[in-house]
Chains A and B, each alone.
Chain A
Amino acid sequence: MLPELYNYWVVIVLMMIGFYIVIVQGNLIKKLIGLNIFQTSVFIFYISVGKVEGGSAPILAEGVSVYSNPLPHVLILTAIVVGIATMALALALVVRIKNAYGTVEEEELQERDLRC
């Protein structure tokens, strides 16, 4: 059982790296990078679930009898779009924060608020 699940486990490690970065990083933009890594590895996880041994891309073609599962692909396409939409919004926020505070470091943000 183990060797067949290793694929999932590698993805999980990647996911946790991303998650860790989000929590620990003080720089707002690096946090977002961590978030992106976290999200993308979730996508990879899903797609792995959809893979069928010996199957091919789910597009009808001559001579192909086994196809990989198209449903996870659809879900992930939507999830990717949602991810990029979130990123765009997040970056707009960061840009505004930089303009308002002069910094994108979490520590300095809190400091400057306390001073006011």
Chain B
Amino acid sequence: MLSHLPILQVIVPLLAAPACLLLDRARAAWLFACMASFISVVISGLLVFQVHQFGVLSYSLGGWDAPWGIEYRIDVLSAYVLLIVSGIGALMILAADTAIRTEIPSERQPLFYVLYLLCLAGLLGIVATGDIFNVFVFLEISSLATYALIAQGRDRRALWAAYQYLIVGTIGATFILIGIGFLYSLTGTLNMQDLANRLPALESSATAFTAFAFLMVGVCLKLALFPLHLWLPNAYAYAPSIVTAFLAATATKVAVYLLIRFHFSVFGVGFAASVLPLHSIFLVLGLVGVFVASLVAIQQPNVKRLFAYSSVAQIGYMIIGIGIGTVTGLQATLLHLFNHALMKGALFLALAAIVFRFGSADIRHFAGLGQRMPWTMAIIVIGGLSLIGVPGTVGFISKWYLVLAAFERDWWLLIIAVLLGSLLAVIYIWRLIEVAYFREGEGEPRGEAPLSLLIPTAILALANIYFGIDTRLPVYLSDSAAQMLFGGGP
């Protein structure tokens, strides 16, 4: 059984989904989905161990070795991201039963869990595979599930947001398909390792350049890199709150993973630099994204939208890390994958509690929240501090490494820019705190969040602090991954 772990990681949620369809009652479906999610976390934990002990894990599907068959390939980076995605998936599903009660009609709830499992399986499949066409297939599985999930929001604008995301997402996926086509016509293979071996010889080919360009743009659409981010605020704001929480903490991370995978493993670090000033592009777009998104966030009356724009800004930081072009920079990005998942996971889940009580996440509802929902508000404060990058939280760790990377390159302007970005975050977080603690609540108090929502949220919030202090696990994993990607370790 242990040798089959790589495929089990994806097969468990993948086959749990149709099985879940057979259970017609919401409660049963929920419990079943919880079980599948928990098994997934356990598997990803075991995979991290295995990679640590044995190095890269290679699994030939169908018994056909790569490149004739499809290969699943788990290295430090994959194991790391698998852990993040499955961990978040498991925590979110715990809260889902309560969270969707007010947002999705009961006859549709079993279908919700089926889609949730499909989305999870799709995301895990993207990370675990070593075959580039397989990436496309599982990307579409997760995307289709996402479109349907987003459309379940109560507000009719959710339908429109889902449609927009569908158009943008399908264009992105088709771009990726075009990139794969070009790569295949050049090399005759679909296996990412094999491609990596064959591409250096073709570095000067215009076709390779085009393939790279299309793949990059396609992935950046999914990432919501500025200016390709326009679908994200609507999608996050109008989707059911638990869907937003899940997506904000996982989907964009997987897209960043894909970017890193294409950039480093398939094409090689040198390639991008030689054909395009890609690192400069990333630095510029990342910075602009941070500023524009943070500025827009400050003005948002709907807190879900506010945090959505904040997510675009955080993705900007991740891209800056890649743009710096050093091991430390990449490590900062990888750390932020983990940390942002914790931050936004906690924040959006807390928002889910507020939506549960109040019906929406408008900032008016925040008035007096410090007294009415003290635990939930405390969690938001912790998440907010993490976003800003206060020492003692995970957000600080990411920003620290980013600054360190910039410092290594003597890029003082960049350091100042990152600090300014944090300052902007202070503004929009302070807005929330001010309304919550220094204003009187209006109307009837609605009570604290139910325990079933509060506990997973609290776990995430505490993780923000725990990993901000005991940084060994994420730092070790991100360091190994960054070294490996640059051509160092296993």
Would A and B touch once assembled, by the CB under 8 A criterion?
Answer: yes
Is B174 touching A42 in the complex (CB atoms < 8 A)?
yes
Binds A, one of B29-37, B92-100, B153-161, B454-462: B153-161
Q: Is the CB of A28 within 8 A of B144?
A: no
Structural contact, A97 and B159, CB atoms closer than 8 A: yes
A56 part of interface (Cβ distance < 8 Å): no
Distance between B242 CB and nearest chain A CB, rounded to angstroms? 20
Interface size class of B (residues with CB under 8 A): 20 to 34
Q: Are B137 and A78 in contact (CB under 8 A)?
A: yes
* B171 interfacial contact with A, CB 8 Å: yes
A82 pairs with B185, CB closer than 8 A: no
A72 B184 Cβ-Cβ under 8 A: yes
Chain A neighbourhood of B81, CB < 8 A: none
| A106: nearest chain-B partner, CB-CB | B160
Contacts A39-B174, A93-B147, A101-B156 given; does A46 touch B181 at CB 8 Å:
yes
User: Which residues of chain B are near A42, meaning CB under 8 Å?
Assistant: 174, 177-178, 181
Question: Hey, which chain A residues are within 8 Å of B174, CB to CB?
Answer: 38-39, 42
Asked if residues A82 and B137 are in contact (CB atoms below 8 Å), the reply is yes
Residues of chain A within 8 A (CB-CB) of B136 are 79, 82
Q: A96: which B residues are within 8 A, CB to CB?
A: 151, 159
Chain A 58-116 interface residues, beta-carbon cutoff 8 Å to B:
71-72, 75, 78-79, 82, 85-86, 89-90, 93-94, 96-97, 100-101, 109, 113
Q: Number of contacts between A and B (CB, 8 Å)?
A: 67
Q: Closest residue to A100 on the B side, CB-wise?
A: B156
Q: Among the listed stretches B9-17, B162-170, B246-254, which one makes contact with chain A, having 4 or more residues with CB under 8 Å of it?
A: B162-170
A93 CB, min distance to chain B CBs, angstroms: 5
Inter-subunit contact B163/A86 (CB<8 Å)? no
Question: For the complex, what is the distance from the CA of A28 to the CA of B147, rounded to whole Å?
Answer: 16
Does B185 lie within 8 Å of A93, measured CB to CB? no
A86–B163 CA distance with the chains assembled, in angstroms:
11
B264 lies within 8 A of chain A by Cβ: no
Listed in ascending order, the chain A residues whose CB lies under 8 Å from chain B are: 19, 22, 28, 31, 35, 38-39, 42, 45-46, 49, 71-72, 75, 78-79, 82, 85-86, 89-90, 93-94, 96-97, 100-101, 109, 113
Q: List 21 A-B contacts (CB under 8 A).
A: A35-B170, A35-B171, A38-B171, A46-B181, A49-B181, A49-B185, A75-B184, A79-B136, A79-B177, A82-B137, A82-B140, A89-B144, A90-B166, A93-B151, A97-B156, A97-B160, A97-B163, A101-B156, A101-B160, A109-B160, A113-B160
Knowing that A79-B136, A85-B140, A93-B151 are A-B contacts, what are 13 other residue pairs whose CB atoms are under 8 Å apart, sorted by A's residue number? A19-B171, A31-B167, A38-B171, A49-B184, A78-B133, A78-B137, A82-B140, A89-B147, A93-B162, A94-B163, A96-B151, A96-B159, A113-B157
